[in-house]
Amino acid sequence: MKVFKLISRHVVLAILSVFWLIPIIWLVATSFGADTGPNIRTFFPQEWSLVQYQTLLFGVDDVSQFPNWFKNTFIIATFTCIISSMFVLMVAYAMSCMRFKARKGLITFASTLSLFPGFLSMIAVYFIMKSIGLTNSNIGLILVYSGSSGLGYLIAKGFFDTVPKSMREAAYIEGATEFKVFYKIVMPLSKPIIVYTVIAAFLMPWMDFIFANIMLNSGLSENKTVAIGLYAMVDKVRINSYFGQFCAGGVLVSIPISALFIIMQKFYVEGVTGGSVKG
């Protein structure tokens, strides 16, 4: 009876995980198929081939410019990552470890701001960007992604809140400045949350669809990011010639992204729950 329970427990898990993985399996399978459009006859492709990857990477045309998209997104992600990680950690430290008159007010104000749909302000940001000629450019998107990133400080602040006050106080007594405490004491203790912040900032441009879609309206394929480019491929008029390439592109971005995502989750759990650094 015990054995039966043990087996059934794992059978349930196996069925569930198959259920969760079916679309992913379909994605990978289709990407290795020969059909350009969606295969609607069988689950697995009737003919296996590498042609989708080949055309995606080397057969660049008006619609499909995957190498360009990847390059754009990578540049945007790198700069966004640098700027917004710095912003997030700076704001989080100020809000968590320092005490000043406007602090409570600023925290309330920031959480009020985040209740507005971010997309609403993006409409006006689009016009501002347009007036200085930065739509359809990497710089414009970097600014859009990193500009307001300081508002996303809460998770890092939550972590800094758990760094014992006594450690900082000991440093103050020895004459350390606040700046020294920031980068010599609190930062080295905060590795999990720094890694989390950096990866989260890097992933943002890869995952975002809505902001990029507003900023990139020229229709020129070479300006696009991966998300916007791939979306255009499954458009009603293009899907029959590009679905195979969409799947190949999806696999290619998903590999690095999901690896980073899994690392990020690990550090998130460590940062939020772990007592490892609170020594």
Q: By C-beta, is 51 or 140 nearer to another protein?
A: 140
Tokens representing residue 189 in the block: 């203790």
Stretch in the footprint of another protein (CB under 8 A) among 53-61, 63-71, 91-99, 194-202: 91-99
- Binding residue for another protein (CB under 8 A) from 161, 170, 184, 276? 161
The SS3 assignment for 33 reads strand
3-state per-residue secondary structure call for 113-124: HCCCCHHHHHHH
Binders of another protein in range 188-217 (CB under 8 A): 206-207, 209-210, 213-214
Least distance to another protein, CB of residue 207, Å:
5
Q: With binding defined as CB under 8 A, does residue 66 bind another protein? A: no
d(CA 96, CA 9): 44
Cα 68–chain centre separation? 19
Residues in contact with another protein, total (CB under 8 A)?
93
Least distance to another protein, CB of residue 121, Å:
4
Least distance to another protein, CB of residue 130, Å:
10
- Binding residue for another protein (CB under 8 A) from 59, 67, 133, 164? 164
Q: How far is CA 20 from CA 10, 14, 26, 62, in A?
A: 15, 10, 11, 35
Q: By C-beta, is 50 or 132 nearer to another protein?
A: 132
Tokens representing residue 148 in the block: 């307001």
Q: With binding defined as CB under 8 A, does residue 187 bind another protein? A: no
Binders of another protein in range 141-160 (CB under 8 A): 143-144, 146-151
The SS3 assignment for 48 reads strand
- Binding residue for another protein (CB under 8 A) from 142, 200, 201, 227? 227
Give the burial string for 23-37 (b: 16+ CB within 10 Å, else e).
eeeebebbbbbebbe
d(CA 93, CA 159): 10
Q: By C-beta, is 24 or 220 nearer to another protein?
A: 24
Cα torsion 203, 206, 211, 213 to 10°: value is 180
Least distance to another protein, CB of residue 59, Å:
20
Stretch in the footprint of another protein (CB under 8 A) among 51-59, 63-71, 85-93, 187-195: 85-93
Least distance to another protein, CB of residue 116, Å:
5
The SS3 assignment for 98 reads coil
What x-and-dash track marks residues 98-127 binding another protein by CB under 8 A? x-x--x--x---xxxx-xxxxxxxxxxx-x
Helix axes 138-147, 66-97, angle to 10 degrees: 30
Binders of another protein in range 1-40 (CB under 8 A): 5-6, 9-10, 12-13, 16-17, 20-21, 23-24, 26-27, 38-40
Stretch in the footprint of another protein (CB under 8 A) among 46-54, 74-82, 132-140, 269-277: 269-277
Q: Which residues pair with 33 in a beta bridge?
A: 48
Least distance to another protein, CB of residue 124, Å:
4
First and final C-alpha spacing in the chain = 46
Q: With binding defined as CB under 8 A, does residue 246 bind another protein? A: yes
C-beta of residue 66 within 8 angstroms of C-beta of residue 229: yes
C-beta of residue 183 within 8 angstroms of C-beta of residue 66: no
